[in-house]
Structure 1
């Protein structure tokens, strides 16, 4: 069951909005959260939402945060930032989704019923929304077929019109993306192909991971990968030639503990592991060459691994307590990108990734 869900969540993430789909100012990613079971819902909604998710048989979900302010690892964003958290969950049918959306909002409203005020969205009258006058936040939940889209927004000013307009922009961007994603039955979740496009057998897997994992062993479309990036506008341009990407021991996909269940809980971005890698597949060799030239545009000629064609390496600046070496290799329409805290280790990973590509059919 867990392995099937770990395949379903990346599939869903490819159809979840990021900030730049809503407003170009929301270019920074502030974190992601996988939802594999009802108990995970408390990381993005209130604790009281957990029994609602369980009672309505929530199957899985994915949450992504965005902001107009670039986050720093382990540092909360300033209060004058605009933050959005978008959570999408799939339920077994339309009825359970509609019931869950109403209950999520009602439970949150009941925390302070004498202070909260219901908000009617003109464009989405079926959405359940409320805010607390004088507070620059708003929460909303909307059922869309088998899906529930939950949004929480924090802005610098307690302006109801601005808050409401941003909620409607989120729904306008998100709902068409879900229309293109047929929901999965519980049985279909179990029957998802682990590696339908041969990416996982081609990506370097030094940790010998065998179970799918959202941030440690998974494949994504370009949209899915952008959730894990800090500057998503720059990343979208950087990875424009990529059709698919496999991640291997790459990211730390969890929210922090500043405040659970609201947009501010996504405040530190998504951390990259100390040792990991990405494998990109592009349309053709020319696209691979273009991507390879961009993702490491200032290599150190003295650091390229010996006897590995189309490879380059460099030490990149970091504010971490260890050094950060990266290498990129290219083979036909694939580009591998690996990193480690030691140059020799990174070079060996690059050579191994190239060998995997050259020997894969």
Structure 2
């Protein structure tokens, strides 16, 4: 078994959204779909487990904090809800993050800010979640918004942290100037005119909201438009503060007592093996939260909503729970359809109802994707090796079948 060592970008980034465009307007038949008869003993699972996991309670406080940070993703606004032009998502930039350390992936704010003093600046920090999107797939024609919400145990800790975090040095040997947001006079705002980059720090109740706005196109053209940056930052802060009113933080002393899988969905998802990327932390999201990771959430959200998707688990792959088997079958059929970039290849031995595709596009990080449906669940896994992808989807099917 060869483990996936490259960045695990979820399958939504390689054409699933396009495939689902047609289904978005079709809805789902109410008739049940019969599951085929599969002899589980004949499936090749490799070294993967084929039974549901008992995730129980968090094993340590880091796991508990990551769970809480992931929950923020369910309430934070999607970038296109802040600015309708921000439709190009990037899964690797959207994720939960904790402290700075070799065991954790950095939040996307550290693309522009030094991280050396982060840990000493965030007393009573629980966890954060970052969202990200740009206005164009072409970097030099785009502007970008990265919004990060950091949760603290109490408002005073958040207030102090906002001030300390705002002292971070910027990367790049270009001047950094102070500025201000008219609508948020208490926010700290600094920008780099040469890069057309604005960063703001805003304390709000138990949260620190860090907003990065960068206009790559203007920087490329040598155009300076600070008002554009401050207006977009203000809109993002407003949308984020409104959404956080709907979030109920778990008391810190209850984090270790909160079940890892309260929805009994992630226990049905194939576990991510050591060697795969953990930039996107495993977790379960509602429909809104799952759209944080989609490259075109407007299209995908409608397709999922039409098919009654209420939970999506991300672990070794993506497991979608639809309203019924017919809805899950529609999602499976649409996103496993072959096209110019996704060529159909051999299905796993003993699992002819699975579909495997070979990606032939320019992004070669992941080559093989395998899909299957069982009951009201539609699943996809991915790997650089076909046999590994086949073993993963066989294991995923076995987990679902053994959950009965």
Cα distance change on mapping 1:290 and 1:184 into 2, 3 Å: same
Any gaps of 5 or more consecutive residues in structure 1? 72-76, 250-276
TM-fit CA distance, 1:98: 1.9
TM-score (norm 1): 0.76
* Matched residue, 2:133: 66
Whether the aligned pair in 1 keeps the contact of 2:118 and 2:165 (CA below 8 Å) is no
Give the aligned CA root-mean-square deviation in angstroms: 3.2
Counterparts of 2:205 and 2:274 in 1: how far apart (Å)?
A: 38
1:170 counterpart = 2:213: no
More deviation, 228-237/284-293: 228-237
1:227 aligns with 2:292: yes
Q: Normalized against structure 2, the TM-score is what? A: 0.69
Task: Work out whether residues 38 and 53 of structure 1, in 8 Å CA contact, stay in contact via their aligned partners in 2.
Answer: no
Q: Which has the higher contact order (CA 8 A, sep 6+)?
A: 2
Greater alpha carbon shift after TM alignment, 307-316 vs 240-249: 307-316
Q: In 2, Cα distance between the equivalents of 1:309 and 1:200?
A: 25
Identify if the C-alpha distance between structure 1 residues 120 and 207 changes in structure 2 by more than 3 Å, giving closer, same or farther.
Answer: closer
CA contact (8 A) 2:191 2:199 kept: yes
What 5-or-longer segments of structure 2 have no aligned partner? 1-60
Deviation for aligned residue 1:295: 1.5
- Equivalent position of 1:336 in the other structure: 379
Pair 1:12–1:214, CA change in 2 (3 A): farther
* Distance 1:17-1:347 versus aligned 2 partners, 3 A rule: same
1:80-130 CA-to-partner distances (Å, cap 9, x unmatched) read 521212111011111111222233335569x99x962331322x3433324
CA deviation after TM superposition for structure 1 residue 333, in Å: 1.0
Q: Which residue of 2 aligns with 1:266?
A: none
Structure 1 match to 2:328: 288
Asked if the contact 1:221/1:244 (under 8 Å) is kept, the reply is yes
Q: Within 5 Å, which residues of 2 pair with 1:114-263?
A: 116-122=177-183, 124-131=184-191, 136-155=196-215, 156=218, 157-205=223-271, 207=273, 215=280, 217-237=282-302, 239-240=304-305, 241=307, 242-249=309-316
In structure 2, distance between residues paired with 1:313 and 1:134: 47
Aligned partners of 2:162, 2:281: CA distance in 1, in Å? 31
**Which residue of structure 1 aligns with residue 99 of structure 2?**
37
* SS of aligned partner of 2:255: helix
2:151 matched residue in structure 1: 90
Q: Is 1:63–1:88's contact at 8 Å kept on the other side of the alignment?
A: yes
Whether contact under 8 Å (1:6, 1:214) holds in the other structure is no
Q: Is the 8 A contact 1:10 1:214 kept in 2?
A: no
Question: Secondary structure of the equivalent of 1:201?
Answer: helix
Q: For residues 13-59 of structure 1, what are the alpha-carbon distances to aligned partners after superposition, in whole Å with 9 as ceiling and x for unaligned?
A: 223333212222211224235421255567354336515533x3222
